[in-house]
Amino acid sequence: MVDNDKTAETNTRELEEGIVTDLREKMTYGSYLGLDTLLSAQSPVSQPEHHDEMLFIIQHQTTELWLKLVLHELKAASALIASDDLAAALKKIARVKHIQKTMTEQWSVLATLTPSEYAQFRDSLANSSGFQSFQYRAVEFALGNKNAKMLAVFDGEPGARALLQELLEQPSLYDEFLRYLARQGFAVPVSVLERDVTVAHTMTPELLPVFIQIYDNSAENWAVYEACEELVDLEENFQLWRFRHLRTVQRTIGMKVGTGGSSGVDFLRRALDLTFFPELFAVRTEIGR
Ligand code: HEM
Ligand SMILES: N[C@@H](CC(=O)c1ccccc1NC=O)C(=O)O
C-alpha cells in the first residue's frame, strides 16, 4: 500500500508498485499514437529560423487534425442518414459541433502573432496557402459547398484530388437529409432529389413548405425538427470559423494580397455569403405567419 499522507509531506507522489515501467517490446503511448512521426513533422522553413514559425505550423497542424476528425464524423453521419438512422447521425453531428467550437476558439492562439512578427517569415511561405488545404475543401464539399474548379489546385496531389473528386460526386449531408425527408413522406420536389450533386445546392423556394410544416408542427415532427436545428448549428459554427479566420487575417496582413494569389480579405469575405442550407434559414421568415 502506498502511504498517501507522504505525498503532501514530501510534495512528491510515490509511484505505485503496479505501474508498468518495462515497456520494451510492448505497445506504448508513443508507439500507439505515432508520436515519432507526429512530432517530427514540424519543419520551419525560415532562415534563420523565426521563433514564431513554430506557432504558425502547429496552429495549422492541429486544425488539420481536427478537420480529419470532422470529415470522419460527417462521412459517418451521411451514411447513417442514408440508412435511415437519424438519431445516430445526430450523435456524430453533436461531436462535430464541439470540434468546430474548439477550432474557432483556437484562433486566439494565432492572434498572439503580431503583424511584424509574421512579416518576418511570411516570404518564406512562398505561394503556399490554406486555400490548398484538401481536408478543408473536403469538409466544404461534404457539407454541400461543391465547386469543381477547386480541384485544379490539387493536380499535383493525386490522393487529395481523388478524395475531392469522390466527395464532389457524392450527395452532400444536406442532399442525404432531403432524401431522408422524402422517404419519411415529406413533399420534397423530385427536382431536388434528382439534382446534379456535383454543383452547390441553391435556394429552392419549393422546399419551403416542407420546412414550414416541420417547424409549425415541431411536436409531431420532433426528430426531423431537431435534425434541422442541428444543421443550422453546424452552418453557424462553420461561419464563425470563417469569420475568425477573416478577422485574424485582417489584423495580421491587412489588405495585402494572399500568398495563394487571391485578393486576401475581400476574397475571404465573399465566403461569408455562402450557405449550406439556405431553406433552413429562409424558413425562419415564414414561421408563425
Ligand atoms: C496569420 C495567419 C493567416 C493568414 C494571414 C491567412 C491568410 C489567408 C488568405 C489571404 C487566404 C486567401 C487565399 C490566399 O490568397 O492565400 C487564406 C485562405 C485560407 N486559409 Fe488562411 N490565413 C491564416 C491562417 C490560417 C489558418 C491557421 C488556417 C487553418 C488551417 C487557415 C486556413 C485557410 C483556408 C482553409 C483558406 C481557404 C478559405 C476559402 O477557400 O474560403 N488559414 N488564408
Ligand atoms: N495565405 C497566407 C499564408 C498563410 O496563412 C498560410 C501559408 C501556408 C500554409 C497555410 C497558411 N494559412 C492560411 O492561409 C498569407 O497570405 O499570408
Q: Which helix (H) or strand (E) covers residue 236, if one does? A: helix 222-253
C-alpha to C-alpha distance for 126 and 220, rounded to whole angstroms: 56
264 lines ligand 1 (CB under 6 A): yes
Residue closest via CA to ligand 2's atom 5 equals 129
Spatial neighbors of 46 by CB under 8 A, at least 6 apart, are: 53, 120, 121, 124
Q: What is the pLDDT of residues 252-288, one digit of tens each?
A: 999 999 999 999 999 999 999 999 999 999 999 999 8
Q: 176 CA distance to ligand 1 centroid (A)? A: 29
For ligand 2, mutation pick of 128, 255, 262 (most atoms within 8 Å of CB): 128
**Mean pLDDT of the chain, nearest integer:** 97
Output the pTM of the full model: 0.97
Q: What is the pLDDT of residues 112-165, one digit of tens each?
A: 999 999 999 999 999 999 999 999 999 999 999 999 999 999 999 999 999 999
C-alpha to C-alpha distance for 67 and 143, rounded to whole angstroms: 13
Q: Which helix (H) or strand (E) covers residue 72, if one does? A: helix 53-82
Per-residue pLDDT at 109 exceeds 60? yes
Taking CA atoms, 110 is separated from 13, 102, 170, 248, in Å, by 36, 13, 34, 8
Taking CA atoms, 10 is separated from 5, 7, 136, 231, in Å, by 9, 5, 50, 53
Nearest ligand to the CA of 52 is: 1
Nearest ligand to the CA of 261 is: 1
Q: What is the pLDDT of residues 51-93, one digit of tens each?
A: 999 999 999 999 999 999 999 999 999 999 999 999 999 999 9
Q: What is the pLDDT of residue 5?
A: 74
Q: 90 with 226: CB under 8 angstroms?
A: yes
